[in-house]
Amino acid sequence: MASSEEPTTASERRPSLTIRDRRPSMSAPVHDLKGPIGPDFTRPKHKRTATGFGAKDIKDVQSSIPEPQREAWTKFAPQRFAKAEDFQRDAVRHVETSLARSMYNCDEAAMYAGTALAFRDRLVMDWNKTQQAHTFADQKRIYYLSLEFLMGRALDNAMLNVQQKDVAAEGLSGLGFRMEDIIEQEHDAALGNGGLGRLAACFLDSLATLNYPAWGYGLRYRYGIFKQEIVDGYQVEVPDYWLDFNPWEFARHDVTVDIQFYGHVDKWQDENGKTKCSWEGGEIVKAVAFDVPVPGYGTSTTNNLRLWGSKAASGEFDFQKFNSGEYESSVADQQRAETISAVLYPNDNLERGKELRLKQQYFWCAASLSDIVRRFKKTGRAWKEFSSQTAIQLNDTHPTLAIPELQRILIDIEGLEWDEAWSIVHQTFAYTNHTVLPEALEKWSVGLMQHLLPRHLQIIYEINLQFLQYVERTFPKDRDLLGRVSIIEESNPKMVRMAFLAVIGSHKVNGVAELHSDLVKTTILKDFVKVYGPDKFTNVTNGITPRRWLHQANPRLSALIASKLGGYDFLKDLTLLNKIEAHVDDAEFRKEWQAIKLANKERLARHVHETTGITLNPKALFDIQVKRIHEYKRQQLNIFGCIHRYLAIKAMSAEEKKKVVPRVTIFGGKAAPGYWMAKTVIHLINKVGDVINNDPEVGDLLKVVFIEDYNVSKAEFLVPASDISEHISTAGTEASGTSNMKFVLNGGLIIGTCDGANIEITREIGENNIFLFGNLSEDVEELRHNHVFGTYQLNESLAKVFDQIQNGKFGDASQFSALVNAIVDHGDFYLVSDDFESYCQTQDLIDESYKNVDEWTTKSITSVARMGFFSSDRCIDEYAEVIWNIEPVAPTKTDFAVDLAGSDKKSAA
């Protein structure tokens, strides 16, 4: 339009919107779009090459390829290894050509790389065919959004899932290498911290094994959470350079999404009088996709985990700034962008840390939603079909921003009406709650949200307004209810309650254990049960994958079980384990069971000696507590119990000491960098260990060990070595726990409180096979009230422990004063004193039971036999039926499809 002409519409009369401004610091080369950018215009945000074909496109391309070319392609595609020589040929080829190494300088790291690349070649074939099959089937998919995916080592898992580990082991032996040494070369993928991330990894394994069309979405952390080092007893955080060599990811530089931050929102009315909004200005950061194949067990289905890395939209390097002498600022844009995907859970004690965490969450949610929406639009379906084709599971509150983001896409970009868009959003999302601790439910200040995501805050306010209007109409006499259920907390400053937004924006909300789901409905979300009714809330008790946590972590036990069951079918149907209970009195079976446990303990003892210099007696009772360090998980109760045991041993005569059951207490886990109290617990554990382990009067009767830098790979040799494991959280605080399941599946018994999944484990394996102690969840609030307002008496035995700490027995007492004072003077919120006597008495019962080898072995075998319920396969089937409404897609026959009954039975024999 010429400048002299009169604008004809309201939108054309807005000259301020003729140029899309960006923040100078992130001046991305964006199209010079003239005129208002409203919902009728789809931004050029997501770039994808021709690999993003729909089913019809693929068929058209395939039919255009001449038959001779297809035959040649098929002929030379990688084939399944038929024998060890096939593996050797490919591994050597990769060492020689991919790595430019030779026979003379091929070390274990190089051979790991060659082995991984050889298996990756075959995995990719199944991966490609799986994605193509899912595109052709055009069925509903599940997208699992999790800020953590604690995947563990990929090579061993891949070899076992395609059931060719024996072939590789033989081939490696012929090349002069041991399989165990090669596996040890792999870095753990540092994409998670604790149970949340490991649950997500188990779920991905089960989704692929059960042939469900699924994608996982997460962040590609350059340095993970951190690598833990123990220096003078203190936790020290150092970067975890796990991406030095990672053959399991594929950079998709052609799959990028522009992610917007800051800026402002423009509103105007179009020619029809409809109010429209566009989010303008601010800065752009580019999300780049990295894909990781996730193979199923005994199937050719290989699903995808897509991780997003961040980079500056304007490029990595500003030549103009460099040439003008601004050397540091020439790379500042890239450095600032990369911080988004640098570290899992950046310390949020500072405001800048809070902003970075919120940035992380939106960056990952926006990139994932853009990808999901692109994939749906490729099918050509109407928007009303979106929720019938797409299910999105929110793993905790971290991905909750996906709810307003999808609403923004639908109303601002795709032009849908609010009510139609909200109906789609509501039917698409489901939310898994993982905690009943109010302080663990995410909240973000309104000011921060306004600054970083102005359009999303508007949408959240509109969601809240419509919800509160519904509540007011439904409960007109309950005015206080409005404040209790509002997404916006009227505090100072005002806060956005992410858990409430997740509940309101989802069609289903589930807890992860029966007790937890009941507590969710009667405590933190009870008002929402009143508003929505009980049908919106359900329970899916967590589970673990037996492929990783029995077959891979404890292959000898897996083989023993398979020898009695006639094969490895139990790895895909864990309920078959109940058949081994028939062999509980079989003398040879029991003897081998005991030998396997002893061998696993000897392996752990070797590791401890090599890494710490501490010598352990493998015939001692191995007592293990490995998990995230947190006050509610009560590692402090455990170490206080160790001090109590130490004092008791010191007071014994020589004759009394002969009757003591030797015990090794092992701790492992990381404390959040900003969680000072948890780091104090680690410090105390190490200082107590220094004293006890060097006391000649105690000797082998008690050892205390802290395993540095606990991760999935270390769990794989810790879990099979346990005689007893500790799951001792304050009743009502642990949502579920999955480490308890892993320990029992490997023949270890539990000491635990009536909390989380301990209750259901007790129901399955029987009260005689678990050691429970402590107060019940229904008594917790009254006890806490008495601590503050009533009479509170510190347990006498615990007081003696505190006397030793305060007298400097374990070093500078001032270092531990906060830990002691939290119990003595500040209410003992986690009821350590209330449960201490019960805890110590139960440990005495464990000692007596362990003396009776036959009784202990019977408990161990019986417990494993009754663990069939706790499979992540069962979890996924429940999610699929009750929450997602998805069906499996039968895999197409490929060269890599596995005959379960064949190779597994052979190896079991």
Give yes or no: 738 in active site: yes
Which amino acid, one-letter code, is at 196?
L
Of the listed 375, 583, 628, 645, which one is catalytic? 628
Q: What is the DSSP string of 743-799?
A: HHHTT-EEEE-S-TTHHHHHHHH-GGGSEE-S--HHHHHHHHHHHHHS-----HHHH
- Is residue 202 within a helix (H) or strand (E), and if so which, with residue range? helix 195-209
Q: Distance between CA atoms of 539 and 146, rounded to whole angstroms?
A: 19
Alpha-carbon distance 787 to 829, whole Å? 8
Say which of 122, 129, 683, 742 is annotated catalytic: 742
Hey, is 208 helix, strand or coil? Answer: helix
* CB neighbourhood size of 583 (10 A): 18
Say whether 627 is catalytic: yes
Residue 48 tokens read as 């994808």
Strand pairing of 283-295 and 250-261? antiparallel
Q: Is 94 annotated as catalytic?
A: no
252 is catalytic: no
Question: What is the spatial distance between Cα 894 and Cα 711, in angstroms, rounded to a whole number?
Answer: 35
HSE, CB side, 13 Å, CA atoms: give it for residue 890. Answer: 1
Q: Which of 673, 690, 730, 705 is nearest to 609 (CA)?
A: 705
Q: Rounded to an integer, what is the distance from CA 300 to the centroid of its chain?
A: 24
Catalytic residue among 165, 359, 434, 508: 434
Q: Which two tokens stand for residue 272?
A: 């029809």
Say which of 276, 455, 516, 627 is annotated catalytic: 627
Nearest CA-CA partner of 704 in 658, 675, 749, 666: 666
CB atoms within 10 A of CB 893: 9
Query: Catalytic one among 141, 455, 583, 633?
Result: 633
Torsion of CA 76, 77, 78, 79, to 10 degrees: -80
Alpha helix stretches (DSSP H) within 766-885 = 777-789, 796-806, 817-824, 832-851, 853-865, 872-878
3-state secondary structure of 85: helix
The two structure tokens encoding residue 6: 């009169």
**CA–CA separation, 714 and 737 (whole Å):** 18
35 contacts 11 by C-beta, under 8 angstroms? yes
User: Which residues neighbour 141 within 8 Å (Cβ) at sequence distance 6 or greater?
Assistant: 134, 213, 214, 215, 375, 389, 390, 391, 886
Please state, in angstroms and rounded to a whole number, the distance separating the CA atoms of residues 706 and 704: 7
Q: Cis peptide leading into 493, omega within 30 of 0? A: yes
Tokens of 76: 């030379």
What is the residue whose two structure tokens read 């419509």?
A: 466
Q: How many CA atoms lie within 13 A of 613 on its CB side?
A: 4
At residue 307's C-alpha, the angle toward residues 303 and 309, to 5°, is 155
- Residue 838: how many other CB atoms lie within 10 Å: 15
Of 580, 750, 592, 739, nearest to 669 by C-alpha is: 739
CA angle 348, 350, 354 (to 5 degrees): 45
Asked if residue 897 lies in contact with residue 300, where contact means CB atoms within 8 angstroms, the answer is yes
Structure tokens of 724?
A: 């007893």
Whether 628 sits among the annotated catalytic residues: the reply is yes
For the record, the structure tokens of 467 come out as 């919800």
Q: Active-site positions?
A: 434, 627-628, 633, 738, 742
